[in-house]
């Protein structure tokens, strides 16, 4: 099931429980959480910078809470809403 977090304290707790570190995508500047074992082009940042940017950009964090799932999205609320809509549509297409 898809869940949404917009509280940085709750989000940080979620990330730290999974061994994620706060990052920015080197090519786009977008916020990223690098999960344990992730191989991606990211620049590590500290939690203070990451959380401040998350709040200033009015971001939302959407994730799949199914066991073993690693799908997530970080971005402005409008983009997060569109992400959820796409994921739901894809899920309905897979399970008619």
DSSP letters for 26-51: TTT--EEEE-TT----EEE--HHHHH
Q: Does residue 14 contact residue 22 with C-beta atoms inside 8 Å? A: no
Average pLDDT of the chain to the nearest whole number: 86
Report the predicted TM-score, pTM, of the whole model to 2 decimal places.
0.81
Task: Tell me how many degrees the CA angle 64-56-26 measures, rounded to the nearest 5.
Answer: 70
pLDDT digits (tens, 9 = 90+) for 7-34: 999 999 999 988 888 998 888 889 999 8
Coil vs helix vs strand at 17? helix
């Amino acid at each position: 099931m898809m869940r949404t977090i917009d509280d940085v304290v709750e989000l940080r707790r979620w990330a730290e429980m999974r061994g994620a570190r706060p990052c920015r995508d080197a090519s786009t500047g977008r916020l990223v959480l690098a999960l344990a074992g992730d191989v991606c082009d990211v620049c590590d940042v500290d939690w203070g910078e990451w959380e401040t940017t998350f709040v200033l950009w009015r971001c939302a964090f959407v994730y799949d809470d199914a066991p073993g799932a690693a799908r997530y999205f970080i971005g402005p609320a409008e983009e997060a809403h569109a992400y959820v809509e796409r994921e739901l549509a894809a899920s309905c297409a897979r399970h008619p």
